[in-house]
Structure 1
Amino acid sequence: MNMYNSGNAERPMLFLPMKYLEEVRGARSNVMSLPKALDQRAGLDKIGGFLLSEHVVSVVRLAMTRALTQLTPEVNDKCVAAYKEFMPPCTEWTEVNTMQLILRIWTRMISHVIVGAELSQSNAWLEEMNLFVPTCIKAVFSLRNGYSSSTYWLARYTNNDIKAIFRLRSRVAKLLEPLLRDRVEAVRLRTQDDTGRKKIDLHADAIQWFVEEYTRRGIKPTADQLAQDILTLSLVSLASTTATTLGVIYDLLDRPDSLLEIKQELKQSFGGMGDKISRQALSQLIVLDSFAKESQRLNPINQISMHRLVLQDHTFKDGLRVPAGTDIGFTNEQISKDSATWGEDGDKFDAHRFLRLRETGESADSRAPMTAVTHDMLPWGTGAHACPGRFLAADGIKMMVLNLLFMYDVKYPAGITSRPKNDDAHLTMGPAAKMPLLFRQKGTYGFD
């Protein structure tokens, strides 16, 4: 065990050995809390309330996941259109900030799911989304560095960075307000339609899902509440998915044989891309899935998982006593490279590691897929708080990679021969975000 917190030495975090994972996973929320741990770590509740509340988790886990089969072809169309919109002209090799490119593309894709077809294509919406994550990060650091926990409540009134977040939330609420009115009316009409006729078709996007969730829970739907919940979804999806995608691209460039194998799989599955991309087709990309999961295993974005704040004094089965107020968690990188689980080559990249497990392992149906929730690899967390949006994220990564490989050639810039060192921040890690890559549009699209 180890006590450490690089971001706040006054509030160290207790990193637990894996033997305690099952007990933490099964602990009641009034004993160990993820939302309260996140609030204490980042203070999100003090800079706009961007917390994974029960109704937000319910929308993602149930309504969004159910809609993915319907939405996948539409989201892929947005991916293709976004590449064409945001990729600069590149008939010759052209230097591109790849992180910014992927962020814009994923923003278009996820926005189609979150706010629907019309608003997701709005430049005003894209501008707010591009501002949101960096503005939020600045606000978190301003809160952490400028205030003690007893004076957090002052921050929204006295700190310019935190005021900026509330102004952004207000602007987003104004963009959402007319859509909210329409969706509330649609739900009302649908509820009243008891004639036996086909009920009014509702939109497949998070605005509609939240309106329905608010109705079930007796929450009054307001534009401000909706903006808070929509921004929460954006916050948890934008940074991690774009970073994971960039890491997969770097790892593909480092492994030409794997790149060729994945192109062959894509060619066999999609040919000339004349047909719509389906969720079922994405699920059959088992070589790409294995490669992406291995990239994720060796480069976990979050350095901690199963993060909890202990709310009551707790004694584990072996006698370890943890007092109330303790931050606890498990280290992702250590778990992901544990030789006891992954063998002596656990710290090496093996593109077929999860492909072999899928084809020959006893746990082929549980541990192998990228979206699997297991105890030996925790990028999605585990237990009741496992990431509910992991299915959309994994599908989105595959769509961004396959469309990139279909339309463009890509390589490292001169002088770079392998994946650069990851960027490190407080308890997070990501691929080098500022390094550009070279892109060239293919004369004829294809996976050759």
Structure 2
Amino acid sequence: MKRPSRRRLIAATGAAAASFSLAGCSSDSGNGDGTPTGTSEPTTDGTATQEPTTDDGTDTGGSGEPVGADQLARWVPVSDAFEFDVRAASYYDADLTALAEHESDFYTGTYGRVAQSLLGAELVDIVPPESREHVVQIVPAFTIVLRTSMSAGELATAVTDAGLSETGTQGDATIFEGAVNSTQSTVAVVEGVVVQSFGSNAQNAVETVLAARSGETARLLSNNGEVRTTVDAIGESELLVVAERPEDASSNDPSLDGAIALGYGWQFDADTSNITIGVTYTEGETAEPSALASYLTEQDAFSDYGNVGSSVEGRTVFVTGDIATNQFDLLSAGTPGESSSATDAPQVQIAFEFEDGTMTVSHDGGDSITASNLSLVVGDSPAGSQFADQYEEVTAGDSVSVDVSNVESGTNVLVLWSDGRNSQMLAQAQVP
């Protein structure tokens, strides 16, 4: 692991595929900034009924108590509630109203990149900036939950204007479906909130989120102790990313041995941005705070932060730091002015073919790409074959074949690009 940013640090906690946002994953050739971000409503409501669960997490029954649009983080269901496989829970959560207040304090364009990363290319166009309030992105479900200041009628009109058609209802939510950039999309509109998901699992993803909202399905924060402990420990944030680590994930540094969940949250003022990184460990395996801090400060992306400190509380180790707000750039190395923008990412068409347990991923036209900058991810793990195994430079017509004979139907496949500073999802498909 080389940097505590984008895919690398989250990958160390077992959510490699989750470290790229939905910007760009709504089509086979995304054009958004693929940087993961998020903020949270960091704690569960102290008066909320706790849903039942079992030791193995397989009980997905809810409490029956609904939650409103002011608690979007509690619309996130437990991973087992989805009909498709979710290996590791992760979500990003952002107070867009608070971030918008600092748009002029950030480096030019930073707020726009954060918004597009969290909302995806379609919702950025559907919901105008002045109407966006709070967003939660459920990464492994390719689902966005956006609270707006728009009425249900206004949202319905905006969604249909984007090309989707009303297909029915679920409770008090109106459901829309259609193809967005040739990829199936399902959208729900309810009490000023729009829920959008992509791909063959889109309908189930949206239905499951709505069921968590209504209390019919168990909620992640009420039932996943690792994630809840991490979120609660980090505390109030305006921008948060949190992920659990699968049991079979390997550590890339001794300071992460025994880590079961990780999150980082930011708070901003006009001059300074403060980050809190929280890593939660299994009982008895907590790392020395100084060891984790030492490891993180050696990484490029965290090296720009000053006033670094570390501490431990219970099973969670904290590393804190700050950076000038006009230098905040989503934990990328260097200053914002030195970082390339999403428009510098290669413009390329990617094609997927599946036949007899083999997936062929092809460069189908567009820019040439340095092979080492490309990663194929199947589910939560790197694919067994990569472009860099065969090529130095990938051009139109080049392809790589991957054995997916033992991969479950519906598993997400991602083509990711990174130049070491910026990252973007170039294409997404699902194993049939």
Which one has a larger percent helix, Structure 1 or Structure 2?
A: 1
> What is the TM-score of this pair, normalised by structure 2?
0.24
RCO higher in structure (CA 8 A, sep ≥6)? 1
> What is the TM-score of this pair, normalised by structure 1?
0.23
Which structure has the larger Rg?
Answer: 1
